Structure 1
Amino acid sequence: MTTILSDEDLLSAYAWNTHRAKHFFCSRCGVYTFHRKRAAPDHFGINVFCLENFDIGSFPIRATDGVGMSVAAPDALPQWPEPREPT
Structure 2
Amino acid sequence: MTERYHGSCHCGAVRFSFEGEEIVKGLRCNCSLCTRKGAMMSSEAIPPDQFSYESDDQTLGSYQFGLKTARHYFCNQCGIYTFHETARMPGHFRVNLGCIEGIDPFTLEYDLFDGKHLL
Query: Structure 1 length normalisation: TM-score?
Result: 0.59
Partner AA of 2:55 in structure 1? D
The Cα of 1:44 is off from its aligned counterpart by 1.5
After TM superposition, give the deviation of residue 45 of structure 1 in Å.
Answer: 1.8
Q: For 1:4-83, what aligned pairs fall within 5 Å after superposition? A: 4=53, 6-9=54-57, 10-56=59-105, 57=107, 60-67=109-116, 69-70=117-118
Q: CA deviation at 1:61?
A: 1.2
Letter matched to residue 90 of structure 2: P
Query: 2:78 is aligned with what amino acid?
Result: C
* Partner SS for 2:72: strand
Q: Where does structure 2 lack aligned partners over 5 or more consecutive residues?
A: 1-47
Shift of 1:19: 3.4
Q: For 1:3, what is the secondary structure of its paired residue?
A: strand
Hey, what does 1:74 align to over in structure 2? none
CA distance in 2, matches of 1:39, 1:64: 12
Task: From the superposition, tell whether residues 66 and 21 of structure 1 become closer, same or farther in structure 2 (CA, over 3 Å).
Answer: closer
Amino acid at match of 1:34: F
Provide the TM-score with structure 2 as the length reference: 0.46
Pick the structure with more strand per residue.
2
Identity of aligned residues (%): 32
Consecutive unaligned residues in structure 1, runs of 5 or more: 71-85
Aligned-CA RMSD value: 2.4
- CA shift, 1:26, in A, is 0.7
Paired residue secondary structure (1:49): helix
